[in-house]
Amino acid sequence: MSKSIFKYSFSLLHIDYVKLNHNWNFNNVISPYYRLYYIDEGMGFISDSSIRLTLEPGYLYLIPSFTICNLNCDTYLSQYFIQFFEESPDGISLFTNNRSVMKIAATEIDIILVKKLFQSNPGRGINRSNNPKVYEKEVYYKEYQLLNDEIKTHLKFENQGILLQLISRFLGSNGFKSNNSQSTPSKILDTMSYVQLHLDENLTVTQLAKRVNQNQDYFSKQFLIHTGQRPLNYIHEKKIERAQYLIATTDKTFLEIAMDTGFSNLPHFSKKFKQIVSLTPGEYRHQNSHLK
């Protein structure tokens, strides 16, 4: 296995055990962190743009960060939920090619690990609401992440180890698509990292190709081969991903967000946002209006 896999780390945001009912019914939820559920009783549903899964006892579910999903419970559902952030030095997600909800059967060890993480981190529930539009705010993220700095060193290692073990279960599933970073040229990986770190700039394919000393056509073809996307599409996708986060967690105007994500004007930003999210910035903000 490539050593580069171990550049990824994950930090705990929330963990709790909750009993839900028909009030747990939220559409178009998107978060900058991961969600992992273990269901022990009842039934619910989770869906994204391409799949609808039944939440049922004995299964683990993973929702990668920035994956739009719908959550639903008609009558009763009890679950352990874990929310956590992903961190990597180049900003490239381990689940870049897997932005969809995932489901696997839980093993006895999985259940032990989930309950151990819950018992070792008391008071890490949301304690505000079951509605993502209420509790998803940057100030709350920082509040809970600060708790990670206060826990003892051995518990930090334990939390990280449990999260890695649980995530590894989904990496082995048939639906997981590898990033194949080991075979991806270093210049392509470097470009992807550069884009992530300079989303506030007006990036161009010409600029990116020149930066790695390659002909623009050759660079574009190599980028497409190794990422499945054309460079400009990748740039726009990452910029809009950042814009979604800013709309969901701040009160910035659309013009300010357009500037923060490197768009030269508001119409261009709005057009690209609609193309990628299938909603206008205004419609997206309305759906997240309870955050403000």
Residue 176 lies inside a defined structural domain of this protein: no
Our count of domains for the chain comes to 2
Q: Which CATH number does the domain housing residue 94 bear?
A: 2.60.120.10
- The structure tokens listed for 47 are 């869906």
**Does residue 208 sit in the same domain as residue 272?**
yes
Which pLDDT value is given to residue 142?
73
Q: Are residues 217 and 129 in the same domain?
A: no
Instruction: Locate 136 and state its tokens.
Output: 């998803």
Does residue 145 share a domain with residue 19? yes
pLDDT of the residue at 231: 94
Which CATH number is 214's domain given?
1.10.10.60
Residue 181 forms part of a structural domain: no
3-class SS of residue 24: coil
Q: Give residue-wise pLDDT tens across range 65-99.
A: 878 788 999 999 999 999 998 887 656 678 877 77
* pLDDT (0 to 100) of residue 50: 78
| Domain hosting residue 98, numbered range | 3-171
234, 157: one domain:
no
Residue owning tokens 């269901």: 39
Task: State how far the Cα of 166 lies from the Cα of 113, in Å rounded to an integer.
Answer: 8
**CA distance between the termini of the chain:** 44
Q: Contact, 29 vs 96, CB < 8 A?
A: no
- Count of alpha carbons within 13 Å of 253, Cβ hemisphere only? 5
Same domain, residue pair 73 and 164: yes
Low-confidence stretches of the chain (pLDDT < 50) are 1-3, 291-292
Give domain status of residue 27, yes or no: yes
Q: What is the pLDDT at residue 286?
A: 85
How many Cβ atoms sit within 10 Å of the Cβ of residue 258?
A: 24
CB 99 within 8 A of CB 30: no
Answer yes or no: pTM beyond 0.75: no
pLDDT digits (tens, 9 = 90+) for 39-64: 999 999 998 777 899 999 999 999 98
In a domain, 178, yes or no: no
Angle at 200 between CA 238 and CA 186, to 5 degrees: 55
pLDDT at 28: 72
